[in-house]
Structure 1
Amino acid sequence: MTTAENFEQSLELWPVGNCQVSALVDRRGGFVWGCVPRVDGDPVFCALMNEHEQDEGVWRFEIAGQTRVHQYYERNTAILVTELHAEDGSAVEIRDFAPRYERSGRMYRPVAYARIIRPLSGTPRIRVVLKPMHGYGEKLAPTTNGTNHMRFLVGAQAMRLSTDASIGYVLEDRFYRLEQDQHFFLGPDEPFSGNLRSEVRRMEQSTARYWKLWVRGLHIPLEWQEEVIRCAITLKLCQHEETGAIVAALTTSVPEAPGSERNWDYRYCWIRDSYYTVQALNRLGALDVLEKYLAYLRNIVDDARGGQIQPLYSVMGEGELEEGFASHLSGYRGMGPVRVGNAAYKQIQHDCYGQIVLPTAQGFFDTRLLRMADDGDFASLEEVGEMAWKMHDQPDAGLWEFRTRQEVHTYSAVMSWAACDRLANVASRLGKDERCEFWNTRADAIRATIEDKAWKKNGSEFGGHYGASFESDYLDASLLQMVELRFLKPDDPRFQSTFTAIEQTLRRGEHMLRYASEDDFGLPETAFNVCTFWLIEALHLVGRDEEARGLFAAMLGHSTQSGLLSEDLDFTTGELWGNFPQTYSLVGVINCAGLLSKPWSEVR
């Protein structure tokens, strides 16, 4: 519920999309963020990043005398419903979606958005505010119009709005009485084929059917079903289906903390984030995301030719992501800068080799896949393993992407161990006994190095613990992943003492820091949401299930009304910060729900 007055930007946002384009809809039913022709393109809707120009870079419907708003998703779909209510009792309903369904033997997912607005009660008066931008907020998109359409030059292409509403009213932002359903299709610059009213409605029905059938194929836990389904749908929306890449988030430059300048562009495919995403969706049985992502990885590996893998790439596999600034955008709540590109592509992060091997290994075992991996894939994967072996004891920027220092990070070394360990498993599956022994020997050698260099047995009040790096005693939350990666078992005393140390050092009430030491920007000011979910997983592993369920409920209580989470959370105020929706955080919801839920056998 909200009023139009005193509106402040927030992360109370509702994603819609079709795995080609997406938009974030705010509490007033306005498109405030959306890029074309894909997620890393020009944000034609950019009001989220332009605090002082809320009537530019937006597409919204307003009802005269608005008093409240009610929003929800149509069950098990990515179709958003927004109801606008006015003081005179009149109301309208807006239905937002991006078309997605099978047509002519392939998936129809155009660079397009569809909106339907209909009167619910009374005699509502509305106006349409449609102000797309060009050049990262540099100027309003040049516009021409015809009898039933408007044409915009946005980004590097033209788009056309086809509608059965009055073009004159739209052009002049004029209020008018809404007496019947009206339909809006913003898509490719070409004449709309067929009857607009019937075609947009057919698109909506087909899109709803697609999502409902996709959800029906998920293996979900007994408890927290709605939360898991919403996170699963949103994770799928973060995949650029054309190539299979999975972006870390749909936005750029929402700061990790107020005024921190920790503003990063997350509209790219991090090998690490994508690994966690496909791992979570695999647990739900969403193999379509895995299959497409494996195709993306095969192209990345081919292009690397046995050399260094970058931590991130564009959704098209482009390696150079030069970091610059969108100077025409003031930033979220005016907290710039707004970054375009991400200099982390230049960093050395050795954990990425394990994060390529681990999901790819499934392709050799899972007979459900349309394309099983073969000997040729194994040969390519061994090249990745060679790099993991070569780099397992070399310094890198680590998974937290420190920009000004390098160490031999324990998490990266454990990921290198996991790469060799899983290659041995694959070799055994293929009947390659010599290669199995070869990779097992390397895995054993890396394990010995980790035990020697990362275990800190002296001067610790916790009875010893693993350090975040070989060179230092400090702790970070990624050490909790040593069980998930099968390096340690939950009852191993070394894991128990490391968990105790991490909890006492990094836990802040119901939340978890990723680390407590200073980095390139000073001390962290917010909790990192996925680390809190790692804490919940660890509590479950050590038998503290009641506490784990309590913390999980608390985290779900911080979700937006759309049921989603961003990257960070102020552990004092509970406010969400960081890019949105964050795949890491949604993965945490899915994984913890699966661990903590009562079994289905209890209802049979």
Structure 2
Amino acid sequence: MSTRHTYDLGVIGNCAYLALIRQDTSVQWLCWPRFDSSFVFGSLLDTRKGGEFSIKPAEDAAFNTRQYYLENTNVLCTEVESAEGRYRVTDFAPRFAQYDRNYKPLMFIRKLEPLEGLPRVRVVCEPVADYGQQQLTRRRSSNHIAFLGMEEEMRLTTDIPLTYILEQEGFVLTETRYLVLTYGAPLEAALHSTAEEFLRKTVQYWQRWVKSTSIGNFYQTQVIRSALALKLHQYEDTGAIIAATTTSLPEAPGSTRNWDYRFCWMRDTYYILTAFNNIGHFEEMERYFHYIANISTKVRDKYQPLYSISGAAQLTEQELPLEGYLGNKPVRIGNDAYTHIQNDVYGQVLVALLPLYVDRRFVGAERADSEKMMYEALRLIKETMDMPDAGLWEFRHIAQYHCYTYLFHWAGAHAARKVARYLGNTEIELMAEELTRIAAGKIEECYDAQRGVYTNAIGSPHLDASGLQLILMGYLDPNSERARTHLRELEKELKTPEGLFYRYRHPDDFGTPETTFLICSFWYVEALACVGRLDDAAREFEKLLGYTNHLGLLSEDVDAKTGSQWGNFPQAYSHVGLVNAAYRIAKRLDRPNFV
């Protein structure tokens, strides 16, 4: 068996920025001032141009590390042990309530503590700008180093002698030290007491957040970690939720399927909102609703498949002169998928709007423009009903009449019909009723009666894991023989012996997919639970937990043969899948303490 590749990384963040920290303490990825800005540390994609921020043993001898989160938080600890001693680096992004708001500065705090012996450490801090194309100039002050050349000043404030950092000299760690890196507003307060207070308040914030979630006993620890990871991917300023922290980590080595995932995909809306609803987190749902509503007011002719975190529409794809993750090129920023026709988005928006009406926590004012949005989405469904599209998986040069698109036409119109009835809007109700019927007819055109399965598109023989959603969205009655047969056929063609699921097995623009897509595996688990195969669902769910990294974090793709993690990381969508699958099983189990 080949060596298993996992991302040796932990994620921290505060809903204003995200950072990835390796087990050797190096910051492999940190973009400032936004999720989709240039990295200031990006050695994940280029070991020479990516800059460095690390706290390693001064002697270049071997050392061991252990990385873990403080329980129920996004505060990351890395313990390092060498021949000279042992020390701990605690990394966190401050986040806590202050003056009736969440305090979430562009501030990265590293606490450095000696644990045993007399460890000698070397601190390197060399940020870069413009994706490694620009070196920053340094200015030394009495207690900080300023890095100049970006729009705003970056500053490292520390009680470590600046000479040791500037000259990258090793020193003996005899007492606790602090490093605070800021972008824009610097740290003006006392270093030690402020860092400790921010750490205490941040730990408290995350632990309270977890306490306020409604999570059953089914693999509770793993669901909590997924919920915490998912929360970090919401850019709180606008409410957008990005697909993943990174760009250009390959879906498989040498595949060139290296995409920028730091954007908000409309097609993920329903699943993400379902996940937050399943863990009882209303605030995140509400923020995301507002982001979607803001985009909806700007839409004229069509929704794009994705938008930036600010709602910007143009996401021009570019290739950067970087070496790539483990040499995998190209490195891309932007994503040309924004130009694609992906017609399931209209149904996604309608299904997402439904809670505005059926959830009594929302009040009337929040529904103000929703009737207009609903009418516009239905109009766009009607206009695109006979139009081929790129589909869920965003084929770049293949347009088909996709079953999944018609499923969301059906689900969106179905949701609109309920809402229209609730509002007493007969015009919208009749329009929605007609579109529900037409969409159902189109879905039935995808049915292969000989095999008893719905194919991926009208006239196509190929199967696609998105067909699992016919069961999950309630189009197929989960108690029916048709649903069970459909699921068995998808299993036969797309499931690996290890329980993983391919998106599809037929060639696309880049050849035949080499890795399985983790969200599809979680959809499979949900479908098993839906059709009443609960023991199978629980067993397959447990298998999937084996594909996390050392911290319980999930990538986008998994190589079925080696169990290797590939694709962008951490992948919010995979964590959404875990949360929703666990919820579906827990709900069906009459044994709450199953595990």
**Contact persistence 2:217–2:592 (CA under 8 A):** no
CA distance in 1, matches of 2:345, 2:297: 15
Would you say 1:390 and 2:378 are equivalent positions?
Answer: no
Percent identical pairs in the alignment equals 38
- Match status 1:379 vs 2:372: yes
Unaligned stretches of 5+ residues in structure 2: none
Separation (CA, whole Å) in 2 of partners of 1:210 and 1:179: 30
Structure 2 residue corresponding to 1:419, chosen from 378, 402, 412:
412
| Residues 423 and 154 of structure 1, relative CA distance in 2, 3 Å threshold | farther
**Alignment correspondent of 1:570:** 559
- The yes-or-no answer on 1:470 pairing with 2:466 is no
Aligned equivalent of 1:291: 286
Q: Which moved more, 1:425-434 or 1:245-254?
A: 425-434
State how far apart, in whole Å, the 2-side matches of 1:503 and 1:398 are.
Answer: 21
Which residue of 1 is the match for residue 480 of structure 2? 492
Letter in 1 for 2:447: W
Q: Does 1:455 align with 2:447?
A: yes
Alignment partners' CA distance in 2, 1:221 and 1:389: 40
Provide the rounded CA distance (Å) in 1 between the counterparts of 2:210 and 2:364: 22
Are the counterparts in 1 of residues 251 and 257 from structure 2 also a CA contact under 8 Å? yes
1:516-547 deviation line (CA, Å, top 9, x unaligned): 10000101101111111112222223333222
Per-residue CA distance 1:170-217 (angstroms, 9 max, x = gap): 111110011111111111344522211101111111111111111111
1:281 correspondence with 2:276: yes
- Secondary structure in structure 1 of the residue aligned to 2:523: helix
Determine the C-alpha separation between the residues in 1 that align with 2:150 and 2:219.
40
Give me the whole-angstrom Cα distance separating, in 2, the residues matched to 1:431 and 1:274. 26
1:218 equivalent to 2:213? Answer yes
Q: Give distance in 2, aligned partners of 1:407 and 1:299.
A: 30
CA contact (8 A) 2:6 2:564 kept: no
Counterpart-to-counterpart distance in 2, 1:204 and 1:270: 33
Is 1:131 matched with 2:126?
yes
1:258 to 220, 245, 253: 253
* Residue equivalent to 2:177: 182
State the 1:9 CA deviation. Answer: 8.8
Which residues of 2 match residues 155-554 of structure 1 at below 5 A? 155-305=150-300, 307-327=301-321, 329-369=322-362, 373-451=366-444, 453-457=445-449, 460=450, 462=451, 464-509=452-497, 510-554=499-543
Q: RMSD of the TM alignment (CA)?
A: 1.8
Shift of 1:66: 4.9
Return 5+ residue gaps in structure 1 as ranges.
Answer: 1-7
Amino acid at match of 2:68: Y
The superposition leaves residues 367-397 of structure 1 with CA deviations (integer Å, 9 ceiling, x where unpaired) of: 2246764253222222112112221331000
Q: 1:595 aligns with which of 580, 584, 589?
A: 584
Q: Secondary structure at the match of 2:195?
A: helix
Could you tell me whether the CA contact under 8 Å between 1:392 and 1:412 is conserved in 2?
A: no
Provide Cα deviations, 1:17-61, integer angstroms capped at 9, x if missing partner.
00111100111121101101111001111011114x39x522110
Give the stretch that moved more between structures: 255-264 or 553-562. Answer: 553-562
Task: Name which of structure 1's ranges 347-356 and 359-368 shifts more when overlaid on structure 2.
Answer: 359-368
Q: Which among 10, 14, 31 is matched to residue 14 of structure 1?
A: 10
- The correspondence for 1:140, drawn from 122, 135, 138, is 135
TM-score (norm 2): 0.95
CA distance in 2, matches of 1:427, 1:375: 14
Contact 1:66–1:85, Cα closer than 8 Å, also in 2: no
Check conservation: 1:132, 1:154, Cα contact below 8 A. no
Given that 1:393 and 1:413 are in contact with CA atoms closer than 8 Å, whether structure 2 keeps it comes out as no
Q: Is the 8 A contact 1:44 1:155 kept in 2?
A: no
The AA in structure 1 aligned to 2:57 is: I
* Contact preservation (8 Å) 2:518, 2:558: yes
- Equivalent position SS for 1:151: strand
Conservation of the 8 A alpha-carbon contact between 1:407 and 1:471? no
Q: What secondary structure is seen at the aligned counterpart in 2 of 1:162?
A: strand
TM-score w.r.t. the length of structure 1 is 0.94
After superposition, the Cα gap between the structure-2 partners of 1:371 and 1:127, relative to the gap in structure 1 and judged at 3 Å, is farther
> C-alpha separation between the residues in 1 aligned to 2:376 and 2:361?
26
Pairwise CA distance, 1:141: 2.5
Say if 1:601 and 1:265 are closer, same or farther in 2 by CA, change over 3 A: closer
Q: Secondary structure at the match of 1:402?
A: coil
Does the 8 Å CA contact 1:125/1:178 hold for their aligned counterparts?
yes
**Residue identity opposite 2:165 in structure 1:** V
Find the aligned partners of 1:117 and 1:368 in 2 and give their Cα distance: 44
| Alpha-carbon distance between aligned partners in 2 of 1:75 and 1:268, rounded to the nearest angstrom | 29
3-state SS, counterpart of residue 333 of structure 1? coil
Whole-Å separation in 2 of the counterparts to 1:10 and 1:560: 6
1:589 shift after superposition: 1.1
Deviates more, 1:533-542 or 1:194-203: 533-542
The number of equivalent residue pairs is 586
For 1:9 and 1:130, how far apart are their aligned partners in 2? Answer: 28
Q: Specify the code of the residue in structure 2 equivalent to 1:186.
A: L
Given that 1:253 and 1:579 are in contact with CA atoms closer than 8 Å, whether structure 2 keeps it comes out as: yes
Q: Which residue of 2 aligns with 1:29?
A: 25
Structure 1 stretch 373-382 or stretch 250-259: which is displaced more?
373-382
Aligned residues of 2:106 and 2:184 also touching (Cα < 8 A): no
TM-aligned CA distance change 1:42 to 1:285, over 3 Å: same
Distance apart, 1:105 and its partner CA: 2.5
Question: Could you tell which deviates more after superposition, 534-543 or 252-261?
Answer: 534-543
Residue 250 of structure 2 contacts residue 256 of structure 2 at CA under 8 Å; is this kept in 1? yes
Residues 425 and 436, structure 1, Cα contact 8 Å, conserved in 2: yes
Query: What is the identity, as a one-letter code, of the residue corresponding to 2:310?
Result: M
